Amino acid sequence: MAESTTRNDGRSPGALRPITLERGASLYAEGSCLISAGRTRVLCTASVEQGVPGWRKGKGEGWVTAEYAMLPRATGSRNRRERGQVGGRTQEIQRLIGRSLRACVDMAALGEWTITIDCDVLQADGGTRTASITGGAVALHDACAWVAEKTGAPSAFRHYVAAISGGLVGGELLLDLDYSEDVRAEVDLNVVARENGGLIEVQGTGEHGDFTPEQLSRLVGTAADAIRQLNAMQRAAAG
Amino acid sequence: MAESTTRNDGRSPGALRPITLERGASLYAEGSCLISAGRTRVLCTASVEQGVPGWRKGKGEGWVTAEYAMLPRATGSRNRRERGQVGGRTQEIQRLIGRSLRACVDMAALGEWTITIDCDVLQADGGTRTASITGGAVALHDACAWVAEKTGAPSAFRHYVAAISGGLVGGELLLDLDYSEDVRAEVDLNVVARENGGLIEVQGTGEHGDFTPEQLSRLVGTAADAIRQLNAMQRAAAG
Amino acid sequence: MAESTTRNDGRSPGALRPITLERGASLYAEGSCLISAGRTRVLCTASVEQGVPGWRKGKGEGWVTAEYAMLPRATGSRNRRERGQVGGRTQEIQRLIGRSLRACVDMAALGEWTITIDCDVLQADGGTRTASITGGAVALHDACAWVAEKTGAPSAFRHYVAAISGGLVGGELLLDLDYSEDVRAEVDLNVVARENGGLIEVQGTGEHGDFTPEQLSRLVGTAADAIRQLNAMQRAAAG
Amino acid sequence: MAESTTRNDGRSPGALRPITLERGASLYAEGSCLISAGRTRVLCTASVEQGVPGWRKGKGEGWVTAEYAMLPRATGSRNRRERGQVGGRTQEIQRLIGRSLRACVDMAALGEWTITIDCDVLQADGGTRTASITGGAVALHDACAWVAEKTGAPSAFRHYVAAISGGLVGGELLLDLDYSEDVRAEVDLNVVARENGGLIEVQGTGEHGDFTPEQLSRLVGTAADAIRQLNAMQRAAAG
Amino acid sequence: MAESTTRNDGRSPGALRPITLERGASLYAEGSCLISAGRTRVLCTASVEQGVPGWRKGKGEGWVTAEYAMLPRATGSRNRRERGQVGGRTQEIQRLIGRSLRACVDMAALGEWTITIDCDVLQADGGTRTASITGGAVALHDACAWVAEKTGAPSAFRHYVAAISGGLVGGELLLDLDYSEDVRAEVDLNVVARENGGLIEVQGTGEHGDFTPEQLSRLVGTAADAIRQLNAMQRAAAG
Amino acid sequence: MAESTTRNDGRSPGALRPITLERGASLYAEGSCLISAGRTRVLCTASVEQGVPGWRKGKGEGWVTAEYAMLPRATGSRNRRERGQVGGRTQEIQRLIGRSLRACVDMAALGEWTITIDCDVLQADGGTRTASITGGAVALHDACAWVAEKTGAPSAFRHYVAAISGGLVGGELLLDLDYSEDVRAEVDLNVVARENGGLIEVQGTGEHGDFTPEQLSRLVGTAADAIRQLNAMQRAAAG
């Protein structure tokens, strides 16, 4: 029930935080976007290199990959830089971002170019992986345009993809959790979808409880609606 | 349409592969289970240590964690041992296994003991992560019993948890994919659930396509039914 | 001769680039400053932890240390993240920053607290190490104030320290080199000084030539004058 | 004196433990053998790759190398996976296995192919390195046959090589030590030999005492006899 | 005031320690020099390899690089070998040595050869980095001669480069500090210069105090004079 | 047959190379010895630390361990420093040295002190591991004396241990192989023994052939005789 919860910032359960997409935030990258979602801020840059990794050579297809990192003081207490082993959480997140963003692009149309999306979290208040996807898609759009201009072929970018989190907190379904909500959630869910509403990735986890198929359906449906709003912002940012 | 597909081994779309659970497969471990699912074979051992990691000390609660590895020749071609950096896929899998198995146990009842579930894939033919969860839960059951005997307290094991994969292959919903099906799948899904039908984890990915909320629901429902069969086998194995 | 050179941005040989110091740029850090010097942008955060490293324990003195990193696309082409070995250049730079910033603080007055200054380069156009020192000192000032408030003792911060680069380019003495000037320099110099004009560190290098003691003296003198301007900006930023 | 010792399992001092060689234990490897020696169990797989390491290229000769690892719970208490530095003991063992198995093969006849023997210890009760050699030779035999079939040339496999441990325990000469005997041994010895009785490797160590040349001779002689029995089992396994 | 200080070994403030240069100290290296400065001893070897690193290929120019290490017991207490991460101090030193020695050579005249100078400190009593440069230049001279003989072209070696430390200790300017002086120094300085008096590198640091431009000038001047003595010894050693 | 071979240096088959033991070669180490055997030179230092590794605490016993390394240009071509993974050969050698030197000492008499023997090869011409043992024992002797003086207890050093290599080269039994002989050897052997003639370690390897028990016996016997000469030199060096 909506009345039972007061969210920190007075949002309704199904409302997104204020979101801004600052396209072209980097002087050098072929595409870039600084995304803010509430107090979460992620700088997404897309870097283009000719050629593809060895295992993909000779097929005439491109590749899109992602890296994710947090600045040491993006959070309430300082984290050590991941300068040896990249941690499991980071690996899990950057694999999710990479898979999601590959769904934006027609690899055959891209040809043998590699686009790397770096998602560096400047400030974290929940939802950094979904913000990385949403902002990264804008950077990727511009990098595809850059390749298109270089090669004279049409852009290989096909669909915007965006992502949002949701969860069950105190039994209530909330969208776009901030950090204080995230740590209290019984179930948390990340949904990635295309502009056409097609789902790309759904990850639901119940660390402190289980959930029913019906709850999953409702969460996915609410998230999919929100993603349509994000897609509109992405299009608007791209001008 | 079911007729359109002939599965390698003649199974119907919603059928599991032959599964065996060999409890006590390790001489030394406090709990162990060698699980076979078709040609996939995973040795799951549960090792008990007194105490918990530093960040968890002083709460009187236990901890369950998992590690996952493949023997170099578990697959069709040899893979290098992960003797430096643990790869992203491995990290993602062992985090999933750990989260899933923690849902079996009442950590407060366990007290300050750590149980490590090692899932070593001897032979891989698809579904190694879900087999690891299903087999690992049996090993974990016995390790909890070992702690209970040691401390005189009742076992902290609460629910069996099992897991299964599913996917859309050529547009058809298939359960328990083998490797040849997995590589062709448009969408693949891993579902982890408790004996009561409660979902613990749902991970659906569309690398080669997207999927609708309805397809997700059907896949989750089919998987949940199969998990009930697996739970029965787990109980039977435990004697 | 001044007329022989036209600097990219029309500056005179001894002029600084436009510099801004945005204090409090990080939500969480105990002190922070986003410094821009022309197109170079560095986010400096100061994180406070109680206690000191093992080798320093029991003397009642504090410690200040620094880490330096570049975002992968801070520069014209993407650099790999330093996720194994930290490179020699990075080590050299972060040691310089640490030594320089330690000169700001009375370690006995600080007591057994450690302050870590993270200098993350968001965009690089020359002078990133000197900007890190100048911006880092502002972050350090605020972190010392935070400790002072916590302990009730007066702040251990004693002097602002700032830094600037200079060099001989085409035989001419230039101050505050941008990247295009830096790569052409015969000699480049970094000078770190206190508000009282006392030198803390002088590093002059002639990769493409040598230099005379007289040239060194002139460069150091010019840099020292510029550092006084930076000190004034630091004081102004601190409000 | 033989009467003074009662071995755990009632064996006579010069008797081997029950040994089984299960050829073809891996679905995918070009050669494989699961060897059991008492409670010690090692899965040996031989993987064939075309080409040789860089330092060996262009001579027309092949290469055989070995890797050795223990599953974390192969022993009484859990060992951490060697996921960074490979430990000294592991290095020493896998170098011994590699050298020994190279003596089976005519490298010129093999041609530029590399065969990697992975020896993964599933359960350890002493004698894992010698079991790895004895089982690995069977896997290597089949891998050579696989290459021969591929190339149409005769197999490059020349001699079976097998290995056994021995030691002085309480002053008595024992063969094929189990773990409980191994930790009590004053002297322990590993002998590797060919079917013709020719010695390939002899490693004798006295951590808790020294030994005479005569004791060494007797130990080597007893081991060499036992190796002939192992060679017969290897031939029998190969069918 | 000179009278106020008694140096350990009775030296005057501006005097060097006894220095010996033993050319050809290594049987195998293309150039080598064992330098002793007081109780500091560094073995410098120059190794020649055909070709240059990838980033330098195709320009027809050579490359000179340096590595620096201490034996574990080169100092009063044992240091662990740097067998993982190379420490910051080591990186800083070997970069300084490399930059300094590159100033000896005309890279275009050298052609595509790489010369690596290894500076291994056998015993350390202050001044190891400057001794490495002075001794390394002798090794480099001979390695250039070796290349010249091999190619028939004239040697690419152009100038000897040498280095010395100085500092302010108890307010007094001292040259060539030993370890006991170094730890007490308010300011320490390393100067690298060519035979013509041209400065190659100046690094002055005030960890325990600051220094004036005038003090810097005096230190640099005194060091430059001493370097001329070292250049003479280098020439004499080369016979 | 002795006539059939001319050794490089005209030695007879059973003769040692000229050997010198320079005790006290290091200014700082608690024991040290620079050993030369022909052109092989190894600096052995013994460093004493109070306490023992964690796994050995509380038994009142000491520990002796060894590290082995080559300078990069100890050999005919430059080897990279082992700055990540320590290679298998190094591991194998330093484990052999450690085991051998532990046989010199009564660990209970030593008490909870750790002695680390660093064996750094300055120049290599075969036999570096055996020279390390022979020279390391002298360094260890002096380090035990240092501990004895510190604690007032008698020295824990019991026996000198020395080592020598031998081999079959062209069918002939040779002692103390230099590098050119080592690479041609069909069989090579390292023997470690105590002053009383008791064997500590025997390692025989036939990479290019096999060997008979009789050949092994002869090699061991010849080596044992030579080790008695080395023991005498060790005693003489210790004065």
For residue F8, give the amino acid letter.
Answer: N
- The model's pLDDT over A25-76, given as tens digits with 9 standing for 90+, comes to 999 999 999 999 999 999 999 999 999 999 999 999 999 999 999 999 999 9
Assigned domain for C82 exists: no
Give the E window 1-60 contacts with C, CB below 8 Å.
Answer: none
- Contact (CB, 8 A) for A12 and A2: yes
By Cβ distance, the residue of F75, F86, F125 closest to E83 is F86
Residue of E nearest to C186 (CA): E200
- Which residues in chain E have Cβ-Cβ distances shorter than 8 Å to F69? 81
Dihedral angle, C-alpha D70, D76, D82, D85, nearest 10 °: -120
- A/F Cβ contact: 3+ pairs below 8 Å: no
Q: Residue C36: pLDDT above 90?
A: yes
Please report which residue ranges of chain C form alpha helices under DSSP H: 88-102, 107-110, 128-151, 179-182, 213-237
First vs last Cα of chain A: how many Å apart? 39
Does the annotation flag E90 for ligand binding?
Answer: no
Q: Dihedral of CA A160/A161/A162/A168: which sign?
A: positive
Residue D215 to residues D168, E62, F173, Cα–Cα distance (Å):
9, 60, 22
pLDDT class of A239 with cuts at 50, 70, 90: low
Name beta bridge partners: B27.
Answer: none
pLDDT at E14: 92
Q: Residue D37: pLDDT above 70?
A: yes
Assigned domain for C72 exists: yes
pLDDT at F3: 45
Name beta bridge partners: D23.
Answer: D33
Task: Check A211 against B198: CB less than 8 A apart.
Answer: yes
Q: Residue F105: pLDDT above 70?
A: yes
pLDDT at B86: 79
| Cβ within 8 Å of residue A113, ≥6 positions away | A48, A49, A50, A51, A52, A62, A63, A147
pLDDT class of C84 with cuts at 50, 70, 90: low
Pairs of CB atoms within 8 A across C/E: 104
Q: Residue A161: pLDDT above 60?
A: yes
Task: Check E201 against C205: CB less than 8 A apart.
Answer: yes
- Which residues in chain A have Cβ-Cβ distances shorter than 8 Å to C118? 71-73, 78
Task: Check B123 against D77: CB less than 8 A apart.
Answer: no
> DSSP letters of C153-219?
SPP-B---EEEEEEEEETTEEEES--HHHHTT-SEEEEEEEETTS-EEEEEEE-TTS-B-HHHHHHH
- Which residues in chain E have Cβ-Cβ distances shorter than 8 Å to C210? 103, 193-194, 196, 198-200
pLDDT at F208: 81
Q: Residue B102: pLDDT above 80?
A: yes
Q: Residue F126: pLDDT above 70?
A: yes
Calpha distance A123→C32 (Å, rounded) = 13
Q: Residue B3: pLDDT above 70?
A: no
Pairing outcome for strands D113-123 and D40-50: antiparallel
Q: Which residues of chain E are under the pLDDT cut of 70?
A: 1-5, 83-85, 239
- Please give the tally of structural domains in chain B: 1
- Contact (CB, 8 A) for D138 and D31: yes
Tokens read off for A113 = 């170019």
pLDDT class of F11 with cuts at 50, 70, 90: very high
Locate tokens 């992405």: which residue?
A234
Pairing outcome for strands A113-123 and A63-70: parallel
Q: Which helix (H) or strand (E) holds A188?
A: strand A187-194
- Which residues in chain E have Cβ-Cβ distances shorter than 8 Å to F123? 26-28
For residues C66-79, average pLDDT: 95
Does the annotation flag F128 for ligand binding?
Answer: yes
Q: Residue D51: pLDDT above 60?
A: yes
Q: For residue F156, which of F105, F101, F196 has the smallest C-alpha distance?
A: F105
**3-class SS string, chain F:** CHHHCCCCCCCCCCCCCCEEEEECCCCCCCEEEEEEECCEEEEEEEEEEECCCHHHCCCCCCEEEEEEEECCCCCCCCCCCCCCCCCHHHHHHHHHHHHHHHCCECHHHHCCEEEEEEEEEEECCCCHHHHHHHHHHHHHHHHHHHHHHHHCCCCCECCCEEEEEEEEECCEEEECCCHHHHCCCCEEEEEEEECCCCEEEEEEECCCCCECHHHHHHHHHHHHHHHHHHHHHHHHHCC
Pairing outcome for strands B40-50 and B31-37: antiparallel
For residues B9-20, average pLDDT: 94
CATH number at residue A166: 3.30.230.70
Residue of A nearest to B215 (CA): A199
- State how far Cα D179 lies from the chain centre: 16
Residue D185 CB-half CA count within 13 A: 26
Does the annotation flag E89 for ligand binding?
Answer: yes
Does the annotation flag E129 for ligand binding?
Answer: yes
Give the D window 64-93 contacts with F, CB below 8 Å.
Answer: 85-89, 91-92
pLDDT at D5: 58
Q: Residue A2: pLDDT above 80?
A: no
Assigned domain for F12 exists: no
Q: Residue B81: pLDDT above 70?
A: yes
By percentage, how much of chain D surpasses pLDDT 90? 87
Selected for mutation to probe chain E from F8, F22, F26, F27 (highest E CB count within 10 Å) is F27
Tokens read off for E67 = 């590595």
Q: Where in the sequence is the domain holding E108, given as residue range(s)?
A: 19-76+88-238
- State how far Cα B150 lies from the chain centre: 27
DSSP-based three-state secondary structure for E185: coil
Q: For residue D208, which of B166, E85, F198 has the smallest C-alpha distance?
A: F198
DSSP-assigned letter for residue B212: -
pLDDT at B196: 86
Mean pLDDT of chain C: 93
For residues B126-144, average pLDDT: 98
pLDDT class of A81 with cuts at 50, 70, 90: confident
Task: Check F118 against E26: CB less than 8 A apart.
Answer: no
Calpha distance F83→F104 (Å, rounded) = 31
Assigned domain for C23 exists: yes
- Contact (CB, 8 A) for E191 and E199: yes
- Contact (CB, 8 A) for E217 and E183: no
Mean pLDDT of chain A: 93
**Burial class of residue F197, CB neighbours in 10 A (0-12, 13-18, 19+):** middle
Which residue has better confidence, A147 or B85?
A: A147
Calpha distance C129→C177 (Å, rounded) = 12
- Contacting partners of chain F (3+ CB pairs under 8 A): D, E
Give the B window 191-210 contacts with A, CB below 8 Å.
Answer: 193-194, 196-207, 209-210
- Contact (CB, 8 A) for E22 and E33: yes
Task: Check A204 against B201: CB less than 8 A apart.
Answer: yes
Task: Check A73 against C28: CB less than 8 A apart.
Answer: yes
Task: Check A198 against B212: CB less than 8 A apart.
Answer: yes
pLDDT at B239: 66
Mean pLDDT of chain F: 93
By percentage, how much of chain B surpasses pLDDT 90? 87
pLDDT at D239: 66
Distance from CA of B44 to the nearest CA of D (A): 10
Calpha distance D23→D31 (Å, rounded) = 8
- Contact (CB, 8 A) for F108 and F142: no
Assigned domain for C5 exists: no
By Cβ distance, the residue of E43, E69, E73 closest to F29 is E73
Residue A156 to residues A140, B57, B223, Cα–Cα distance (Å):
10, 52, 36
Q: Indicate the range of A20-24, C108-112, D185-189, D208-212 predicted with least confidence.
A: D208-212
- Contact (CB, 8 A) for A237 and A188: no
By Cβ distance, the residue of C87, C89, C202 closest to E202 is C202
Distance from CA of C113 to the nearest CA of E (A): 19
For residues D153-182, average pLDDT: 95
pLDDT at C208: 81
For residue E2, give the amino acid letter.
Answer: A
- Which residues in chain A have Cβ-Cβ distances shorter than 8 Å to B86? 85, 88
pLDDT at F83: 67
By percentage, how much of chain D surpasses pLDDT 70? 96
- Contact (CB, 8 A) for A138 and A238: yes
Assigned domain for C1 exists: no
Calpha distance E234→F74 (Å, rounded) = 24
- The model's pLDDT over F197-212, given as tens digits with 9 standing for 90+, comes to 899 999 999 978 899 9
Q: Order the strands of the F63-70 sheet from edge to edge.
A: F19-23, F31-37, F40-50, F113-123, F63-70
- Contact (CB, 8 A) for E140 and E157: yes
Strand ranges in chain D using DSSP code E only, listed in sequence order: 19-23, 31-37, 40-50, 63-70, 113-123, 161-169, 172-175, 187-194, 199-205
Residue E152's region, left for phi above 0, alpha for psi from -120 to 50, else beta, is left
Please give the angle made by the CA atoms of E77, E78 and E80, to the nearest 5 degrees.
145
pLDDT class of C86 with cuts at 50, 70, 90: confident
Calpha distance B112→B109 (Å, rounded) = 9
- The model's pLDDT over E149-166, given as tens digits with 9 standing for 90+, comes to 999 999 999 999 999 999
Q: For residue B225, which of B202, B193, B201 has the smallest C-alpha distance?
A: B193
Assigned domain for D81 exists: no
pLDDT at B222: 94
DSSP-based three-state secondary structure for A111: coil
- State how far Cα D61 lies from the chain centre: 23
User: How many CB atoms are closer than 10 A to CB F112?
Assistant: 16
The model's pTM is: 0.88
pLDDT at D8: 82
- The model's pLDDT over E61-101, given as tens digits with 9 standing for 90+, comes to 999 999 999 999 999 999 988 766 678 899 999 999 999 99
By Cβ distance, the residue of E88, E204, E224 closest to C95 is E88
DSSP-based three-state secondary structure for E43: strand
By Cβ distance, the residue of E197, E201, E207 closest to C204 is E201
Dihedral angle, C-alpha A87, A88, A94, A96, nearest 10 °: -170
DSSP-based three-state secondary structure for D156: coil
**Burial class of residue E127, CB neighbours in 10 A (0-12, 13-18, 19+):** buried
Angle in degrees, 0-180, between the axes of helices C213-237 and E213-237, rounded to the nearest 10: 140
Task: Check B78 against D116: CB less than 8 A apart.
Answer: yes
pLDDT at A46: 98
Q: What are phi and psi of A29, to 5 degrees?
A: -70, 150
For residues F14-35, average pLDDT: 96
DSSP-based three-state secondary structure for D213: helix
- The model's pLDDT over C160-210, given as tens digits with 9 standing for 90+, comes to 999 999 999 988 999 999 999 999 999 999 999 998 889 999 999 997 889
pLDDT at C87: 83
Assigned domain for D99 exists: yes
D159 touches chain F (CB under 8 A): no
- E/C Cβ contact: 3+ pairs below 8 Å: yes
pLDDT at F196: 86
Calpha distance E96→E87 (Å, rounded) = 14
- Contacting partners of chain A (3+ CB pairs under 8 A): B, C
